[in-house]
Amino acid sequence: MKAKMTVNKAFTISEIDPRMYGSFLEHMGRAVYSGIYEPTHATADKNGFREDVKALVKELKTPIIRYPGGNFLSGYNWEDGIGPVESRPKRLDLAWKTVETNEVGLHEFMNWAKEVGSEVNMAINLGTRGIDAARNIVEYCNHPSGTYWSDLRRKHGAEAPFKIKTWCLGNEMDGNWQIGSKTAEEYGRLAAEAAKVMKWVDPEIELVVCGSSGLGMPTFASWEATVLEHTYEHVDYLSLHSYYGNPKNDLQNYLAMSVGMDRFIKSVVAICDYIKAKKRSDKVLNLSFDEWNIWYHSHAKDSKNEPWQQSPPILEDIYNFEDALLLGCLLITLLKNSDRVKIACLAQLVNVIAPIMTEKNGAAWKQATFYPFMQTAHHGHGTVLRHNLEVPDYDCDEYKAVPYVESVAIHNPQKNEVVIFVVNRSKDESIDFSAELQGFEIKNVLEFSEISGHDIKQTNTKDACPIAPKAAQQASVNGNILSATLSALSWNVIRVEL
């Protein structure tokens, strides 16, 4: 089988916002407690945070982390997480039927995020709280001094403001599982008023308003349109959430799910542009895909959890090789939509449907999905190039004419290179892949790595991580044409120096 990519230096999609490689940490399961924070662990720092986990997060180069939820957010009082730890209340978390100790709160998380090199995408509670709490937390975090909330922050040890740039206006507010769920009219009005006062406190912040909770929601499209009628002038991004799984054990259908992601993104873009046209606005509203991942392995186990435990194991999917391939396809799809998707948050970062797993008082290790995410975060910077792809396709249950290759090309002028991420979806055949890079002069191949050759159900464990990049066969260059062989069922990274 053959595949030919053609790109031209002059034809681009967009520069990539570094926040495309963001993640998410919610107070649920073992994401925080015995995930990033475990004071009794052998590697714990003076503040109780695991150094082994910090090292893995730094390896991912995660630029922004959404916090503290998620469903947890809609019942959370941010004031519970400030002040002396010994004075903080324990609360019932109704979202996940657990007990929240509030040992880790706003200051602890901000300090941890700074240590791992991440900004924080702070989410505010618009389920049980509202406008007053929204303006107060912005004042607490971002106002320099001289007011009640800013001086209280200083009293709690943070002399300088946190300067949090990005804020989410609630979470999945159309979901009947959400504490304080609302109609589109109710949420749109509340979000607009919260947005106004938050920006009055700090005009420099950016705001993400909630889209519907997923493409399958009966509210989808009408929710977005109604909410944006109220909020378009006040917000900067509209959120999307989507999770993917393979419960039917149909590999070819599973690997085609990035086609569905692409259609979802383009549908939401169309809604945003409809409201833009209706309002006769010059403003282009961009997207924050602030929850996306693979999630289905843990469903059966989670249904047996006893309620009201402290940090029980929840949503601890153990990822396999086929999951790594789909994750690569999803990453490529986000990059191909970088003209409108500016923020994306892999949900989540540690233990809870995450690329990093930990054992309580034990090891931390990289899941099968760790490496595709890490490689794109390291090398996926610069400008996405438009490309034409000639390749055979196939039909499956949900999608027709699915190309056997999912690919994207990125020009990084700072590093003087072109990077190609490419997945071969074929389970049987290798693919002779060529890329004609018009307008570029290729000097040599810097890297050609692949993840391939595994049983589709193979996983990484604390003892061994076989699903990792390895050197692929040598790629060749002839003028401005790059040629390489893509192994059957493979994730590939090809970097050429210009």
CA–CA dist 92, 75 (Å, integer): 9
DSSP 79: G
CB-count exposure of residue 177 (10 Å: 0-12, 13-18, 19+): exposed
CA–CA dist 414, 404 (Å, integer): 31
417 in active site:
no
- DSSP H or E stretch at residue 46: none
Counts for the chain of helices (H) and strands (E), in that order = 11, 24
CA–CA dist 92, 477 (Å, integer): 61
172 in active site:
yes
Structure tokens at 177: 């599982």
DSSP-derived 3-state class of residue 350: strand
Catalytically annotated residue among 172, 224, 406, 417: 172
Long-range contacts formed by 298-306: CB under 8 A, 24+ apart: 298/353, 305/97
Catalytically annotated residue among 79, 291, 322, 450: 291
**Alpha carbon 248 to chain centroid, angstroms:** 25
Q: Write the DSSP assignment of 282-345 as a string of letters.
A: -PPPEEEEEEEEE--TTHHHHTTPPSSBSS---S----BHHHHHHHHHHHHHHHHTTTTEEEEE
CA–CA dist 35, 360 (Å, integer): 8
Instruction: Tell me the catalytic residues.
Output: 172, 291
